[in-house]
Structure 1
């Protein structure tokens, strides 16, 4: 039984979501919005308090109470000895946002999308939304650096992330406020965090999942199209496809060996020309598995065609991560020659 289905209310009882009073943060702002997505909490009262007696009355308590007891719907992370993570593959300690997502995420997605809890997209989307959205909230709230091994000050200051934007909705230090004002501000922050979160969910359903199937198809056909590499190191798309966010996970899922990992992606651009792009070593990396040959880099047009012996060449970027040709056949030829 899921955590959401386990929650039972007394006959006629109104559910109560409890979080802490005072200055608010992105983690409980998001956690509260996520909880309101569950049918059992859609009409819940919201109480912001640090009073132990009021906390004890909560149907679910997040970010306050010094307890992590899922059986009683208590989801705080501030207490000594708390080291919970999303799963064994993650190292980031959870905040209240991560705790709510860990225990209720699949049910929240099912409710938002209006699907049954056995929809095969839910496990994939559950992990994706933690990796792409919630984990950063957890890390920020727990003071975890994105670059723990980096020395020296950052090259620039960023204060445009969600945690910063939520923080700015708190009263200024020299501003007068009361509990009612702070509740209005908190609801605004919670709605902002939740709206951004579910916009990302909707984007994933509308665009990310359709691209995923196209990448699966291209990976499975990468040895069989005309001009294919027999080891499958060239992947061909006949249209624009957001492939980079999928290819690494799908390589593992499909059991593709390192020797047959894709090195180049060939696809049409918006002008009707063709591109050959080197696959990076990871989704966030600027380093390629195998950049296009160094002698080609920074060379253009006819000079590049003469150098490569391939008609229709347009360019190769100075870093070698991408190049262009007038035709599909020319782009495939560039990728094939780069394999040698």
Structure 2
């Protein structure tokens, strides 16, 4: 899978031949950290050890009390007081080889920080529990090393898909921004011409509603969130439309083909583009 790594800036990690982490039972932290290193450098050899020595040459993580360990008393914390674990420390240094700085920070917030917190505190996390289940059972004839690398392969697949999605979303953002550059800055209704993710491109604009083709046929009118990652909307759809039948909506608005309005007021649908435009304009007036 092509991730699009910045190869020029990645020259250091490409030249690292060996990486070392702890042996024995494993957790999501050392597993995802290993998967990340393998994505950055497919030729790196990962060794699982019980003790670090001065002769080791390479990246050492989640063991040894070095740059990429977090078991010492003076371990590092983020500004929001979430402690770093090995994956977070490696991401802090190498994450921008995969994506831009803003995206790398968001990835840390929504994906890595919950894993780091789980590793430091033992709190529940779905990915952490899934990785933990790869550890051999007491009656299973499998070494922890074999199980570890099976877990790494699983984690690597997750990361690759996440990285590809981020790359795709960045491409979509540029497409939408190009569309917006041809329109007046004060528009409040935006008709999306390409079927691409749009939230990050419109969050800092005056746009309240985005109209786009529905994969179920017809057109959707969707409210723009006040923040890309929040549920709060800039302008929700009118309360009196929500949860009504098509017959009721058509009677309320006199728009034929107004077939649906979500009960939470963030989305509605029309059979035609003309109907979608009329609905969006009407919603602005409430």
TM-score by length of 2: 0.82
- 1:208 corresponding residue in structure 2: 169
Structure 1: how far apart are the matches of 2:199 and 2:208? 12
Structure 2: how far apart are the matches of 1:131 and 1:92? 10
Structure 1: how far apart are the matches of 2:183 and 2:245? 28
Aligned 1:280-295 pairs, distance under 5 A: 280-295=225-240
Structure 2: how far apart are the matches of 1:138 and 1:308? 51
- 1:30 corresponding residue in structure 2: 32
Deviations 1:44-63 (A, max 9, x none): 3x33223243x652421100
Give the alignment's Cα RMSD to 1 decimal.
3.1
User: What is the count of residue pairs matched by the alignment?
Assistant: 278
SS in 1 for 2:121: coil
- 1:150 corresponding residue in structure 2: none
User: Is the 2:19–2:44 contact (alpha carbons within 8 Å) kept by the matching residues of 1?
Assistant: no
Q: 1:238 aligns with which of 190, 193, 202?
A: 193
User: Is the 1:211–1:242 contact (alpha carbons within 8 Å) kept by the matching residues of 2?
Assistant: yes
Structure 2: how far apart are the matches of 1:339 and 1:83? 48
Q: Cα–Cα, structure 1 residues 329 and 30, in superposed 2: closer, same or farther, change >3 Å?
A: same
- 2:161 corresponding residue in structure 1: 199
User: Is the 1:300–1:313 contact (alpha carbons within 8 Å) kept by the matching residues of 2?
Assistant: no
Q: Cα–Cα, structure 1 residues 271 and 246, in superposed 2: closer, same or farther, change >3 Å?
A: same
SS in 2 for 1:105: helix
- 2:62 corresponding residue in structure 1: 63
User: Is the 2:62–2:70 contact (alpha carbons within 8 Å) kept by the matching residues of 1?
Assistant: yes
Deviations 1:142-165 (A, max 9, x none): 2386xxxxxxxxxxxx87x32111
User: Is the 1:234–1:335 contact (alpha carbons within 8 Å) kept by the matching residues of 2?
Assistant: yes
- The structural deviation recorded for 1:221 is 4.5
Structure 1: how far apart are the matches of 2:20 and 2:175? 44
- 1:136 corresponding residue in structure 2: 114
- The structural deviation recorded for 1:214 is 2.9
- 2:51 corresponding residue in structure 1: 51
SS in 1 for 2:260: strand
SS in 2 for 1:142: helix
User: Is the 2:14–2:40 contact (alpha carbons within 8 Å) kept by the matching residues of 1?
Assistant: no
SS in 2 for 1:37: helix
SS in 2 for 1:266: strand
Q: 1:183 aligns with which of 112, 135, 145?
A: 145
Deviations 1:18-75 (A, max 9, x none): 1112211111112122223344x7143x33223243x65242110011232xxxxxx1
User: Is the 1:313–1:324 contact (alpha carbons within 8 Å) kept by the matching residues of 2?
Assistant: yes
- 1:148 corresponding residue in structure 2: none
User: Is the 1:3–1:104 contact (alpha carbons within 8 Å) kept by the matching residues of 2?
Assistant: no
User: Is the 2:52–2:63 contact (alpha carbons within 8 Å) kept by the matching residues of 1?
Assistant: no
2:42 is equivalent to residue 81 of structure 1: no
TM-score by length of 1: 0.70
Q: Cα–Cα, structure 1 residues 240 and 300, in superposed 2: closer, same or farther, change >3 Å?
A: farther
Structure 2: how far apart are the matches of 1:63 and 1:16? 15
Deviations 1:245-299 (A, max 9, x none): 5543xx2xxxx4xxx3x22111121243122112234445444332211222233
Structure 1: how far apart are the matches of 2:172 and 2:44? 36
